Structure 1
Amino acid sequence: MKITYDSEVDVMRIIFNNSPIEESDEEKPGLIVDYDKEGNIVGLEILDASKRMDNPRLVEYSIPK
C-alpha cells in the first residue's frame, strides 16, 4: 500500500496494488474509487483532502496484535 499527498492539487491518493486501472467512479463527491478489470479496488483518491481531514500529511499506521 502506498499513500501520497499532492499539496499543489490537494489530493490524497491511497494505492492498494499496482494493477492497471480499468475504471474510476466518483462514489461520493470528492471520493474517487479506482477498479481493475476484475472489479477489485486498486486505489482511492480524496479530492480537497485538506478540507476533509485535519492533516493530510499525517499518516498513522498500526497493526493489531
Structure 2
Amino acid sequence: MKLKIDEQADALYLTLGEAPASRTEEASPGIIVDYDDQDRVVGIEMLYLSKRAPETDLRRLLFESVPEVA
C-alpha cells in the first residue's frame, strides 16, 4: 500500500494493489476510485485536498491500525 500526496495537483492517491487500473469511477465529487479487470479496488484519489483538510500538515500523517477482534 502506498500513499502519495501531490501538492501541486492538490491531490492524494492511495494505491491498494499492484494491478493496473482498467476502469475508473467518480464515487462522489472529487473522489475517484480505480478498479482492476476483476473489479477490485486498486486505488483511490482524493482531489481538492487543501479544501477537504485545510488545517492538515501534509508532511505529518498518522496511521492507525484497529486491533483484530477474536
- Work out whether the TM-score is over 0.5: yes
For residues 1-65 of structure 1, what are the structure 2 equivalents within 5 Å?
A: 1-53=1-53, 54-55=55-56, 57=58, 58-65=60-67
Percent identity for Structure 1 against Structure 2: 31
Q: Which of 1 and 2 has greater Rg?
A: 2
1:59 deviation in Å?
Answer: 1.8
**Residue correspondences, number:** 65
Q: Which runs of 5+ in 2 are unaligned?
A: none
**Secondary structure of the residue that 2:51 maps to in structure 1?**
helix
**Cα–Cα, structure 1 residues 18 and 60, in superposed 2: closer, same or farther, change >3 Å?**
same
TM-superposed CA distance for 1:55, in Å, is 1.7
Unaligned runs of 5+ in 1: none
The TM-score, its normalising length taken from structure 2, stands at 0.83
**TM-score, normalised to structure 1's length?**
0.89
